[in-house]
């Protein structure tokens, strides 16, 4: 199955956390990386005063069911010191499942497709880079959708 993940970090060595999260995801033999976007610098979302985020998107191939993939993502977050203190607050790493093939889920622990992805440019810009012809869950082409917030590509 083809799955799209969003990664973000705004604490400490953000580049380390992004790279290490990808590395740790691939420690699972059921996950392989198909594509990676560049890194986009963005203002924080949700009104909490904090440092800028570095965000990216990756496409993975996996046979893990959605809830099991969520557990793997959360284990990677936890292993990298992620603490859930303030909603939309600072974090070493955040890994969100955006799209999991064509699966729709409305379970409390996992909503698919991600309910806010089409509102946030920090999600759309890196996703647009790796799948420019993607049709979003709304039925609109990603190339025609601009989310809220400004992003800039980090020259890494």
- Phi and psi at residue 90, in whole multiples of 5°? -60, 150
Annotated active-site residue in 96, 101, 120, 128:
96
Would residue 84 show up in a list of annotated catalytic residues for this protein?
no
Would residue 13 show up in a list of annotated catalytic residues for this protein?
no
Burial status of residue 1 (CB atoms within 10 A of its CB: 0-12, 13-18, 19 or more): middle
Would residue 82 show up in a list of annotated catalytic residues for this protein?
yes
Annotated active-site residue in 14, 94, 120, 128:
94
* Rounded Cα–Cα distance for residues 124 and 56 (Å): 10
Query: In sequence order, what E strands does 11-124 have?
Result: 31-36, 40-42, 53-62, 94-100, 105-107, 110-112
Annotated active-site residue in 91, 101, 120, 140:
91
CB 80 within 8 A of CB 23: no
For residue 87 the two structure tokens come to 């909603």
Would residue 120 show up in a list of annotated catalytic residues for this protein?
no
* Rounded Cα–Cα distance for residues 42 and 17 (Å): 16
Annotated active-site residue in 24, 82, 120, 128:
82
- Active site positions, annotated: 82, 91, 94, 96
């Amino acid at each position: 199955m083809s799955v799209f993940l969003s990664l973000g970090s705004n604490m400490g060595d953000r580049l380390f956390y992004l790279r290490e999260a990808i590395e740790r995801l691939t420690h699972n033999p059921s996950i392989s990386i198909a594509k990676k976007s560049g890194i986009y610098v963005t203002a924080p979302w949700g009104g909490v005063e904090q440092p800028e985020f570095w965000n990216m998107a990756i496409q993975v191939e996996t046979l893990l069911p959605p809830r099991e993939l969520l557990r793997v993502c959360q284990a990677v977050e936890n292993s990298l010191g992620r603490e859930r203190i303030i909603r939309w607050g600072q974090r070493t790493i955040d890994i969100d499942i955006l799209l999991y093939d064509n699966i729709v889920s409305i379970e409390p622990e996992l909503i698919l497709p991600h309910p806010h992805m089409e509102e946030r440019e920090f999600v759309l810009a890196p996703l647009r880079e790796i799948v420019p012809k993607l049709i979003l869950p709304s039925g609109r082409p990603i190339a025609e959708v601009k989310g809220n917030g400004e992003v800039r590509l980090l020259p890494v």
